[in-house]
Amino acid sequence: MKATVYYGPRDMRIEQVPDPIIHKPTDVIARITHACICGSDLWPYRGIDQPKPGTRMGHEWMGIVEEVGAEVQTLKKGDRVIAPFLISDGVCAFCQEGLHSSCVHVGVWGRAVDGGQGEAVRVPYADGTLVALPQAIAGDKQLLKAVLPLTDVMATGHHAAFTAKVGKGSVAAVIGDGAVGLCAVLAAKRLGAERIFIIGHQEQRLKLAQTFGATDIILARGEQAEQEILEQTHGGADAVLECVGTLDSINMALHITRPGKTASFVGVAHIDHIPDLGNRFLRNVTVTGGVAPARAYLPELLQDVLHGVLDPSPVLDMTVDLDGVPAGYEAMDKRTALKVMVQLQ
């Protein structure tokens, strides 16, 4: 089969790789129908992370079950499935507690197993990892596109809003206008936020944020942005959803959170500490968030997408086929695309 393989910064290749086969009786093999390129895939692309040459890429995908291991109980050949961005067994204590991202068998697509940006994938712990989609969805291209972001960015945006305790009447502030930030706006709206600030700099994306429910756009940067939000909220937002992961954005999140309230961090950071502890302590700001347990949220979010009350599909503003994946990386790197969908079938 063909798959996307990393060779070095700005060197993603579509290559022939071995077809996946069942290793364990809890595996299934799935043929991939849709995948995405993630903002975090840009790190190796840009050379910030440098995985081994030969590493397979992609952790957001949907597909059709093609082969089923002997111990798999909930899936059969032909089932349409969606995968969260992490593998999880579904039965360990952490999965039972809803924190599938801390599963004792947690795994990452593209490392020990095939990546999502390819024609097929071996799925470990298939009963735990995958969620079946209704068969009727097969003919509805638009609905499939709305489901696809639940693999990662929509689940991550929801994690930010949920862990920051967004509820009816909340004043939320979303830092970042990437796909996760935009999904965090959707999630905050869905959980009842009354006012949703978004801090970003890309005009098109901020317009999309408004259609998703953002009520206040903050174009200023740094301290000026902080001042604007502190003034307009009379002391800070109830829930700050940090969807970038830089030192500046982390600092901003801590500063614009109302005393006694919560900042949730879902932007994967490349720094190793939270600064300004004294300020957090004096103001009783809670710091939460992390790697989203997407598998835990999938059933709930899927129902809303299937019922037409949640639609993150506009974040997917460019579509490529598998051979177009390298061009998709380039478009996201140059910000001519927000997020790329890979359509295989």
Residue 97 is a binding residue for a second copy (CB under 8 A): yes
Burial category of 182 from C-beta neighbours within 10 Å (exposed 0-12, middle 13-18, buried 19 and up): buried
Pairing of strands 61-68, 55-56: unpaired
Check residue 94 for interaction with a second copy (CB under 8 A): yes
Figure out which of the listed residues 32, 285, 294, 340 binds a second copy, where binding follows CB under 8 A.
285
126: exposed, middle or buried (C-beta count within 10 Å: 0-12, 13-18, 19+)?
buried
Q: Is 51 in the site for a second copy (CB under 8 A)?
A: no
- Interaction between residue 234 and a second copy (CB under 8 A): yes
CA distance 68 to 66: 7
Residue 305 beta carbon to a second copy: minimum distance, rounded to whole angstroms: 24
Query: Does residue 244 contact residue 265 with C-beta atoms inside 8 Å?
Result: no
Answer yes or no whether residue 231 interacts with a second copy by CB under 8 A.
Answer: no
Among 268, 306, 318, 327, contact with a second copy (rule: CB under 8 A): 268
- C-alpha span between 323 and 192 (Å, rounded): 41
The answer to whether residue 189 forms part of the interface with a second copy (CB under 8 A) is: no
Least distance to a second copy, CB of residue 270, Å: 9
Considering the complex, what minimum distance in angstroms separates the CB of residue 345 from a second copy?
A: 34
- Of 136, 127, 133, 157, give the one whose Cα is nearest residue 147: 133
Neighbouring-strand partners of residue 27: none
345, 334, 340: which is closest to 46 by C-alpha? 334
Give 189's Cβ-side CA count (13 Å radius): 21
In DSSP terms, 63 is beta-bridged to 32, 81
Nearest distance from residue 97's CB to a second copy, in Å? 6
User: Between residues 63 and 178, which has the closer beta carbon with respect to a second copy?
Assistant: 178
String marking each residue 235-264 x if it binds a second copy according to CB under 8 A:
x-----------------------xx----
Please select the residue that binds a second copy; options are 282, 307, 308, 309, rule is CB under 8 A. Answer: 282
Q: Which is nearer to a second copy, 71 or 276 (CB)?
A: 276
Q: Which of 46, 192, 271, 335 binds a second copy (CB under 8 A)?
A: 271
b/e code 257-280 from CB counts within 10 Å (16+ = b): bbeebbbbbbbebeeeebeeeeeb
Part in contact with a second copy (CB under 8 A); list of ranges 181-189, 201-209, 290-298, 304-312: 290-298
Question: Where along the sequence are the contacts to a second copy (CB under 8 A)?
Answer: 93-94, 97-99, 101-102, 163, 234-235, 259-260, 265, 268-269, 271-278, 280-291, 293
